[in-house]
Amino acid sequence: MRYRPFGHSGQALSALGLNVSWAKLGRSRNAATRLLNTALENGINTFHLTSAHPDLLAAATETFAVVDRRVLFISLSAEEEGSSDPADEYRLEPLRERLRGVIKSSGLQWIDLLVFHANGFDRIPDRSWTFITALREAGMLKFTGATANDDLIKVAVDDGRFNILKTVFDIDTSWNKRHLLDYALAQGMAVFGHDFFPAQYRKPEAIVPKKGWLGLFGGQSIDPLAGRGTYAFLHQTPDWTAEELCLSYALTQPNLSTLFVNADDPEHLDSLVAVVERAMPTSVPAQIEMARFSAQADELANARKKQA
């Protein structure tokens, strides 16, 4: 594992952080424990918990007990996973009860980062902010963050009360968004990335032309150049999966303090961690830019057809 400096805190965060989804783990304490242990064994020290369920907190506390708490960075969603109205959970009473369970009952001692959802970070009541400030002064909470993309990034940055911006960073991230991330950094915020693997590129049949399918199964493609100028290369690059290429590309962004990944099981996490030490094929950055340019050209052409 490689590590990146986290602002001026003096702490180093693992290049990959683990997003721990209680729902995706089937709400299984055993599954959570196995995944967390695998993460620690691979040198991951940065974690995000999407739930404050007692069983998940117990699994985390038990697993993390073998490590000096000071080298871990543990973040928590301010709302429960799957909430239909995150802002409703930002009221003082539910927020205070949630954080009491995490900080006091679980034994995690403190929360490094409390992350507010894009749908609600601008509706946190003043009473809740007063409580959050008190927690920070007491050393029970270190940082606050907001999840935001596109136009909401500037809103989160200009709010002035958030230390960390959590945002999607993938092969489709536009230059306009990169400028917004630079703006956040210039204002003293740290940037955490997540969701590096776009859903629309996960299935080969969605982006690889039929003439190139045969090569996916070990034979020679009918047309080796099928899909040139598109994202088909994600499924045609030898010894790399599409997910691994997308991850490798996202890791080239130096301004990300960490990049959160989702892993289905320990074996999946092992394969993602291995990407950190691999050198991305030199052709990939150019292929990504070509695919992005082609996609933009297609969008422009389609827009003109609609106007005609």
**Tens digit of each residue's pLDDT (9 = 90 or more) over 195-216:** 999 999 999 888 876 654 555 5
- Roughly how many angstroms between the first and final C-alpha of the chain, as a whole number? 54
Q: What is the pLDDT of residue 223?
A: 47
Q: In the structure, what pLDDT confidence band is assigned to residue 301 with cuts at 50, 70 and 90?
A: low
Calculate the alpha carbon distances from 49 to 78, 201, 301 in Å. 10, 26, 43
pLDDT at 92 over 70: yes
Q: What is the pLDDT of residue 228?
A: 55
- Residue with the bigger pLDDT between 275 and 10: it is 275
Q: In the structure, what pLDDT confidence band is assigned to residue 78 with cuts at 50, 70 and 90?
A: very high
| Token duo for residue 298 | 């297609």
pLDDT at 163 over 60: yes
Q: In the structure, what pLDDT confidence band is assigned to residue 9 with cuts at 50, 70 and 90?
A: confident
- Using DSSP's 3-state secondary structure scheme, residue 106 falls into coil
Q: What is the pLDDT of residue 299?
A: 66
Q: What is the pLDDT of residue 297?
A: 64
Q: What is the pLDDT of residue 168?
A: 97
On whether the CB atoms of residues 145 and 194 are closer than 8 A, the answer is no
- Residue with the bigger pLDDT between 183 and 212: it is 183
pLDDT at 283 over 60: yes
Listed as own residue / partner, the contacts of 64-70 with beta carbons closer than 8 Å and 24 or more positions apart are: 64/36, 64/40, 64/108, 66/40, 67/40, 69/108, 69/109
Please compute the mean of the pLDDT values over residues 279-294 and round it to a whole number.
Answer: 88
Alpha-carbon radius of gyration of the chain? 21
Please compute the mean of the pLDDT values over residues 87-98 and round it to a whole number.
Answer: 96
Q: What is the pLDDT of residue 229?
A: 62
Q: What is the pLDDT of residue 225?
A: 43
Q: What is the pLDDT of residue 205?
A: 84
On whether the CB atoms of residues 30 and 271 are closer than 8 A, the answer is no
Q: What is the C-alpha separation between 190 and 176, in angstroms, rounded?
A: 18
Contact partners, residue 53, CB within 8 Å, separation at least 6: 22, 27
**What pLDDT digit, counting tens, does each position of 138-151 carry?**
999 999 999 999 99
Query: Buried b vs exposed e over 125-155: b needs ≥16 C-beta within 10 Å?
Result: eeebeebbeebbeeebbbbbbbbbbeebbee
pLDDT at 222 over 50: no
Give pTM, 2 decimals.
0.89
Q: In the structure, what pLDDT confidence band is assigned to residue 80 with cuts at 50, 70 and 90?
A: very high
- pLDDT above 70 covers what percent of the chain? 89
Q: What is the pLDDT of residue 42?
A: 98
Alpha helices in the chain (DSSP H): 29-41, 54-64, 92-100, 126-137, 151-159, 175-186, 204-207, 242-250, 266-275, 284-307
Q: What is the C-alpha separation between 262 and 272, in angstroms, rounded?
A: 9
What average pLDDT does the chain have? 90
Q: What is the pLDDT of residue 75?
A: 97
Calculate the alpha carbon distances from 3 to 6, 47, 155 in Å. 9, 14, 29
Please compute the mean of the pLDDT values over residues 270-277 and round it to a whole number.
Answer: 98
